[in-house]
């Protein structure tokens, strides 16, 4: 007697996306996840794809569950949450979980992934690293930053034997 092995469903952080890509307060965000059956032999039937959303400080709340009727072995499919989520300023997480109708999976540790995103939060873009010689004047450019009204820079490291000046 040989038991049929279960499928191997997978969702990873990099396969979770949302539109708009840079949401603003009041936007209705739509989520998408790429679901894969990495099993080389076993198809998965009636795959439940659960989308949950939370503010970073809060608990996850169920948004919707979508069903993939059949996911062939080695196959993948993009699944869109059918209900958008209206956001306000803050940091959010979206969690996507997958399971087929059998409730079994060859590797259950890759059946859930989370992605964090911000809404109208300041993002500091400082530019590249700067190498200079002691006494050089250095110009820092934060113009690519978003939602920032002012900038403050902190020198975090100086070469051995040099003092970090106090400002």
Which residue from 117, 103, 120, 131 is spatially nearest to 46, judged by alpha carbons?
103
State how far the alpha carbon of 145 is from the alpha carbons of 5, 87, 110, 122, 142, in Å: 50, 21, 34, 7, 6
Q: Whole-model pTM?
A: 0.72
pLDDT of res. 96: 97
pLDDT of res. 70: 95
Provide mean pLDDT across the span 89-99. 94
Residue with tokens 């399971």: 99
If you average pLDDT over every residue of the chain, what do you get?
85
Provide mean pLDDT across the span 92-100. 94
pLDDT level of residue 4 (50, 70, 90 thresholds) = confident
- The pLDDT tens digits of the residues spanning 116-167 come to 999 987 666 766 777 777 778 877 777 767 666 666 767 667 667 666 555 5
Provide mean pLDDT across the span 71-91. 94
pLDDT of res. 166: 55
Q: Could you give the percent of the chain with pLDDT greater than 90?
A: 54
């Amino acid at each position: 007697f040989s038991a049929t092995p279960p499928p191997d469903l997978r969702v990873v952080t990099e396969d979770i996306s949302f539109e708009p890509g840079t949401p603003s307060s009041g936007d209705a965000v739509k989520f998408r996840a790429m679901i894969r059956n990495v099993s080389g032999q076993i198809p998965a039937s009636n795959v439940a794809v659960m989308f949950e959303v939370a503010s970073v400080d809060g608990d996850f709340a169920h948004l919707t569950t979508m069903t993939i009727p059949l996911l062939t072995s080695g196959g993948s499919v993009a699944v869109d949450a059918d209900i958008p989520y209206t956001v306000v300023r803050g940091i959010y997480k979206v969690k996507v979980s997958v399971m087929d109708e059998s409730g079994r999976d060859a590797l259950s540790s890759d059946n859930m992934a989370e992605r964090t995103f911000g809404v109208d939060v300041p993002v500091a873009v400082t530019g590249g690293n700067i190498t200079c010689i002691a006494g050089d004047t250095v110009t820092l450019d934060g113009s690519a930053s978003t939602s920032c009204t002012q900038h403050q820079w902190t020198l975090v490291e100086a070469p051995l034997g040099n003092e970090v000046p106090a400002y």
